[in-house]
Structure 1
Amino acid sequence: MRYRRFGKTNLWLSVFSLGTMRYLDSEDNAIETVRQAVAQGVNHIETARGYGKSEEYLGAALSAGLGLPRSQLYITSKIPPTVQADTMRRHIDESLERLKVDYLDCLAIHGLNTWEHLDWVENGCVSAVQQAIADGQVRHFGFSTHGSLELIVKAIDSGLFEFVNLHYYYFFQRNAPAVELAAQKDLGVFIISPADKGGRLFAPPTKLKDLCAPYSPLALSYRFLLSDRRITTLSLGAANPSELSEALSIADRDYPLTTEELEILEDLESHQSTILGTDKCSQCYACLPCPENINIPEVLRLRNLAVAYDMTDYGQYRYRMFENAGHWFPGVKANRCTSCGECLPRCPENLDIPSLLDDTHQRLNGPNRRRLWE
């Protein structure tokens, strides 16, 4: 296991952190998953108020003993933004009680996803967090986000936070400027769920496996992130102990990408360009805003991946969250397009966006999907 400094928190975290959204089957399973992760060098565990019984299960694991003193095991919990400071203070107390700890090493605002959420923090609940820090209940303060790049940049620039949890993967590099700004501001960078949100790479299609050989797509994705020294730690959302092995087997491989790895990544990009041809969306976001509130770049990103790499399962998984996950995954489905044409002159590739939206909907639509713990 390798360890990196988590920005201005000055905590040294393992390059893989145990995320606990998926270990919800039973308390015994949760305890064993945490125990085996810690035994293999993981020293940072992340939970959240909204993850079902996750905090309670982690509290049970901590009480059972994990072979590390509390001072060497770092706990992060996440709490949604609140309008009232008193509500945030009560939520902090409740999380500490469920976790059976006296303090959180890190508290993150969970889902700073809208401009309203940022306003709630700046003019409301931040005072409760600051008081909890003064009282020794919280040591470091950050935020997690599924919001727009512009919102993330504004939050980083606010000066309120010491770390950020965000989406950034080989197959989704929109937030690269946020990673760079966080590094410049000395914020710790925690990458959310690269195995799942980064492409469901734990179950890759055959085409993608062939293109990534001799590496697995998941290993190559982890290497892309581990080689980036601006990133502190990657979330490992194991549902049980057996799901720890692939990630932790490469936890010491945090060196720069090798020539072979770089060539494979270049071949992946070349393959996508060849297969998609003039239908490739370059993810410039110039098409927005859409009057129907279609997140055109994200819809077409999912199409890019489905067509180029057969990542249809991942595309369906994400696409079906539109209209069903609120601010966690904003936008409506592509069949809402009215062919108004407002996006067309803004597209530098001159894509026939309405036709591509229709094609994406036909490929990826199906039963609606909600977020895991809902």
Structure 2
Amino acid sequence: MRAVESAGQMRAVVEAALAAGINHLETAPAYGPAEVHLGAALRELAIPPQHLLLTSKLLPGVDLASGQAQLRASLQRLGVARLDNLAVHGLNRPEHLDWALQGDGAALLGWAQAEGLVGQVGFSSHGSVALIERALASDRFGFCSLHLHLFDQERLPLARQALAAGIGVMAISPADKGGRLYDPPPELVEDCSPFAPLPLAYRFLLAAGVSTLTLGAAQPADLGWAVALAGADGPLTAAEQEALARLAEAGQRRLGAEACGQCRACLPCPSEVPIPALLRLRNLALGHGMTPFASERYNLIGRADHWWEALDASACHRCGDCLPRCPHGLPIPDLLAATHRLLAAPPRRRLWG
């Protein structure tokens, strides 16, 4: 989704990926010219199909005929007769899941497999835990792509549930949406020492059993982490566990008694404010110096449709409903107001939208 400025850029990234031992390429029609450039790269590099796993995606909600035409167009752009994996791109709302299980989406996915155009069917989701649980329990999907990050572990139990059921799990953007870990602030570098933040975060996910980690390369040099982490699966070492413990302790020390424990006892909010998600960003900004990342995410709220939260901290009406439920006695309305003052900034455009 990032190597899309030219066919030459895509070819260079794909060539470097193959050299690094990567065998899974994931794209989508929604990523601008990505499929066109990737198809050209595959043809020019003459890669035998059996050497790669190829995944693309379709947005939910289309009727059967339109979905069939979109899938055929993806195959044509990629220059292949079959996808290994087809994902519902952004299964974020209940109506998206209904479409995939009972509506035109169910017919589309069934047709694609029956015609031999795709191998397994899965989904990516930025939705709620309850929605993802429903999707995993449906027995319809062979894999899922979820936000699984060292600094956002809410969905890790879902990943374990999926893996136990034989469902493949891909972590969405551990380096970028997981905290811009390719450009860590000094506090975070210190907190993770002697390890760099990005490989420590990847190792955390590998040790949790996550099947596939994404790299999101825009240039060949971005794939250096794939080389460095080759064969780096298995349990966390004692040194890695100690580093993660120091990381947690450092964040707690800087936040003091105002650290949000992410227990979610404050929910539901009568005003539908996503309190834990907002206070998690505050935790990262004040606890680990990750203000640029936290501000970037905060200022996408309400501007990314169903791909991210709809309400920011300014939607808090100070009703106090959350206060008696917080086991730590946090002054939640005050913390939300402080979070808004800290992170609110002019909006930035999403990479894809």
**Alignment correspondent of 1:129:** 109
Name the CA distance, whole Å, in 2 between partners of 1:96 and 1:345.
55
**What is the identity, as a one-letter code, of the residue corresponding to 2:117?**
Q
**Alignment correspondent of 1:26:** 6
**Alignment correspondent of 1:342:** 321
**Contact 1:88-1:129 within 8 A present in 2 as well:** no
**What is the identity, as a one-letter code, of the residue corresponding to 2:230?**
A
Q: Secondary structure at the match of 1:33?
A: helix
Name the CA distance, whole Å, in 1 between partners of 2:159 and 2:81.
32
**What is the identity, as a one-letter code, of the residue corresponding to 2:29?**
R
Q: From 42, 45, 53, give the equivalent of 1:62.
A: 42
**What is the identity, as a one-letter code, of the residue corresponding to 2:170?**
F
Matched, 1:372 2:351: yes
**What is the identity, as a one-letter code, of the residue corresponding to 2:67?**
M
Gaps of 5+ in 2: none
Q: Secondary structure at the match of 1:257?
A: coil
Matched, 1:289 2:283: no
Normalising by structure 2, report the TM-score: 0.97
Note the 1:126-205 alignment, pairs <5 A.
126-205=106-185
**Contact 1:49-1:95 within 8 A present in 2 as well:** yes
Q: Secondary structure at the match of 1:129?
A: helix
**Contact 2:20-2:226 within 8 A present in 1 as well:** no
**Alignment correspondent of 2:82:** 103
CA RMSD between the two structures:
1.2
Name the CA distance, whole Å, in 2 between partners of 1:307 and 1:40.
36
What is the deviation of 1:84?
2.0
Q: From 207, 210, 216, give the equivalent of 1:227.
A: 207
How far does the alpha carbon of each residue in 1:277-303 deviate from its partner, in whole angstroms, 9 at most, with x for none?
221111112222223332111100000
Name the CA distance, whole Å, in 2 between partners of 1:274 and 1:341.
27
Name the CA distance, whole Å, in 2 between partners of 1:276 and 1:362.
17
**What is the identity, as a one-letter code, of the residue corresponding to 2:158?**
A
**Contact 1:219-1:247 within 8 A present in 2 as well:** no
Q: Secondary structure at the match of 2:214?
A: strand
Q: Bigger shift: 322-331 or 84-93?
A: 84-93
Matched, 1:315 2:259: no
What is the deviation of 1:239?
0.6
Q: Secondary structure at the match of 1:140?
A: strand
How far does the alpha carbon of each residue in 1:105-157 deviate from its partner, in whole angstroms, 9 at most, with x for none?
00000000011111111122121111111111111100000001111111000
Q: Bigger shift: 277-286 or 307-316?
A: 277-286
Name the CA distance, whole Å, in 2 between partners of 1:97 and 1:77.
12
What is the deviation of 1:370?
3.2
**Alignment correspondent of 1:300:** 279
What is the deviation of 1:307?
0.6
**What is the identity, as a one-letter code, of the residue corresponding to 1:110?**
H
Note the 1:253-292 alignment, pairs <5 A.
253-292=232-271
Gaps of 5+ in 1: 1-20
Residues 64 and 89 of structure 1: is their aligned pair in 2 closer, same or farther, counting only changes over 3 Å? same
Q: Percent identity?
A: 46
Name the CA distance, whole Å, in 2 between partners of 1:28 and 1:83.
32
**What is the identity, as a one-letter code, of the residue corresponding to 1:151?**
L
**Contact 2:278-2:336 within 8 A present in 1 as well:** yes
**What is the identity, as a one-letter code, of the residue corresponding to 1:372?**
L
Name the CA distance, whole Å, in 1 between partners of 2:232 and 2:5.
31
**Contact 2:260-2:279 within 8 A present in 1 as well:** yes
**Alignment correspondent of 2:21:** 41
**Contact 1:89-1:129 within 8 A present in 2 as well:** no
Q: From 322, 326, 329, give the equivalent of 2:308.
A: 329
Greater length-normalized contact order (CA 8 Å, ≥ 6 residues apart): 1
Q: Secondary structure at the match of 1:236?
A: coil
Name the CA distance, whole Å, in 1 between partners of 2:300 and 2:175.
18
Matched, 1:363 2:342: yes
How far does the alpha carbon of each residue in 1:243-267 deviate from its partner, in whole angstroms, 9 at most, with x for none?
1113321122112111111001011
**Contact 1:189-1:233 within 8 A present in 2 as well:** yes
**Alignment correspondent of 2:31:** 51
Normalising by structure 1, report the TM-score: 0.92
Name the CA distance, whole Å, in 2 between partners of 1:366 and 1:172.
22
**Alignment correspondent of 1:14:** none
**What is the identity, as a one-letter code, of the residue corresponding to 1:35?**
E
**Alignment correspondent of 1:4:** none
Name the CA distance, whole Å, in 2 between partners of 1:294 and 1:331.
8
How far does the alpha carbon of each residue in 1:31-52 deviate from its partner, in whole angstroms, 9 at most, with x for none?
1101110122111000011000
What is the deviation of 1:83?
4.6
